[in-house]
Amino acid sequence: MHYEIKDNQVVFTVQSQSESLYLKGTFTNWLIKEDFRFIKSADGCRLIKHLDDVNKIGNSGFIEYVIWDDIAQVAVDISPAEEGYLFNNQCNGGLNQLLFLHPPTKDELAEISGASRQSFHIKNQKGQFSSDAQLANFRTVSGGKLKPNWVYRSYHPVIASRENHPELKHIEPVRQAKVLALMEQHQIENVINLSDTNDKLKQLMPVFPESYYKHCWKKGRINSIPVAYETVYFMSDRNEPLNDEELGFEDGICGLIATIANKSGPYLVHCRLGSDRTGVICAFLQLLMGASKQDIAENYLETNQLGIGEYRSFRLLERALQAAVGDDCFQDGEEKVRLYLLSLGLPISMIEKAKKHLS
């Protein structure tokens, strides 16, 4: 181990005399930052950070990082770690180091190791999927008082997400065609688009081929509620947008409830992959309607069958919901979400109308 936790600090040490080493990871958004630069010391290079400065988890559900040589433009090769201490770096196919604030159990390490292996899996042939719905990341959102086959989630129906990926670009149009077919099959009435602003849709939709999605857009049934990955996972405790053209988490939730209260179903929720923003928002609706933690986890984790060389831990979703609604949000979640919505200033009549439209 090349880090040690002492009181409220993490001390990183590397056997090197380089002056170009940086710590970068989930906590720096994988950017080089000067206050994460290693300093020469008697035993190599050292960096000391407060726990709060690094406590931001990645797709593994744990803190992820690399020690980066900015001159060589490579991650420093660290002595091999045990299984479970490394996780897929989905940007370059390498491995990130994991930082544990508490000693991991054998079961946790085994789970992490299995998830990392799964995360490298690529599916780029239609026959590798159990159904068209799995290929399209299209499924119903259920649990509690949610009306069966009424709220759906999916991959983005028309804007490609992996068009430049060497292994996935050929299946991308097949995937999106299946989303469009399933939308029409289930007669989706209103779409909640979490990735695109109205201005972007106005710019792009006219040049896209005719489709059921374009039909919905022409009818004013594509409801834009743009939020960022960072916003839903790590800024759900406040109303701060990551980018100027997007919404903060609280405004996004208010827009979601207002849309459902004023528009009819069946509904489809999507972002780009239908994984992160879609996952958090659908889980929020499940909580609102009294779904169990198990229902929420099962629905969220299904996206890991998409086969795009990535993985999402339930710990990501859990942290997002707890930051917004409270640590005990899975205990009587329906009432806790109702109180949360009231705290945002939504009238009880709108909340009840939205719930009626979902039930």
Residues 138 and 109 in one domain: no
What is the pLDDT, as a whole number, of residue 43? 77
Residues 6+ away with beta carbon under 8 Å from 204: 158, 159, 196
Residues 48 and 164 in one domain: no
What is the pLDDT, as a whole number, of residue 82? 77
Residue from 286, 345, 311 nearest 145 by CA: 286
Q: Where a domain ends, among 102, 119, 136?
A: 119
Residues 39 and 144 in one domain: no
Residues 31 and 109 in one domain: yes
What is the pLDDT, as a whole number, of residue 16? 81
Residues 141 and 174 in one domain: yes
- When divided into structural domains, the chain yields a total of 2
Q: What's 168's domain CATH number?
A: 3.90.190.10
Residues 6+ away with beta carbon under 8 Å from 343: none
Residues 23 and 143 in one domain: no
What is the pLDDT, as a whole number, of residue 90? 79
Residue from 246, 210, 208 nearest 229 by CA: 246
Range of the domain at 221: 126-358
Alpha-carbon gap, residue 257 to 350, rounded angstroms: 8
Q: What's 71's domain CATH number?
A: 2.60.40.10
Q: Where a domain ends, among 71, 103, 119?
A: 119
Alpha-carbon gap, residue 342 to 337, rounded angstroms: 9
What is the pLDDT, as a whole number, of residue 1? 57
Residues 135 and 108 in one domain: no
Q: Where a domain ends, among 66, 84, 119?
A: 119
Torsional sign, CA 201, 202, 206, 211:
positive
What is the pLDDT, as a whole number, of residue 44? 86
> In terms of DSSP H, where are the helices of the chain?
51-54, 106-119, 132-135, 172-185, 198-204, 212-218, 229-234, 249-262, 276-288, 293-301, 314-325, 333-343, 348-358
Pairing of strands 44-50, 267-270: unpaired
AA identity, residue 306: L
Torsional sign, CA 88, 92, 95, 96:
negative
Per-residue pLDDT of the chain (359 residues; tens, 9 = 90+): 589 999 999 999 988 878 899 999 999 999 999 999 999 887 789 999 999 999 999 999 999 999 999 998 988 877 667 789 999 987 777 889 999 999 999 999 999 999 999 999 999 999 999 999 999 999 999 999 999 999 999 999 999 999 999 999 999 999 999 999 999 999 999 999 999 999 999 999 999 999 999 999 999 999 999 999 999 999 999 999 999 999 999 999 999 999 999 999 999 999 999 999 999 999 999 999 999 999 999 999 999 999 999 999 999 999 999 999 999 999 999 999 999 999 999 999 999 999 999 99
Alpha-carbon gap, residue 17 to 40, rounded angstroms: 6
Residues 18 and 113 in one domain: yes
Alpha-carbon gap, residue 52 to 39, rounded angstroms: 20
Residues 154 and 112 in one domain: no
Exposure of 273 in the CB half-sphere (CA atoms within 13 A)? 21
The neighbouring-strand residues paired with 41 are: 44
Residues 165 and 239 in one domain: yes
**Residue 122, burial from CB neighbour count under 10 angstroms (0-12, 13-18, 19+):** middle
What is the pLDDT, as a whole number, of residue 77? 78
What is the pLDDT, as a whole number, of residue 124? 96
Residues 142 and 39 in one domain: no
What is the pLDDT, as a whole number, of residue 256? 98
CB 190 within 8 A of CB 221: yes
Residues 69 and 165 in one domain: no
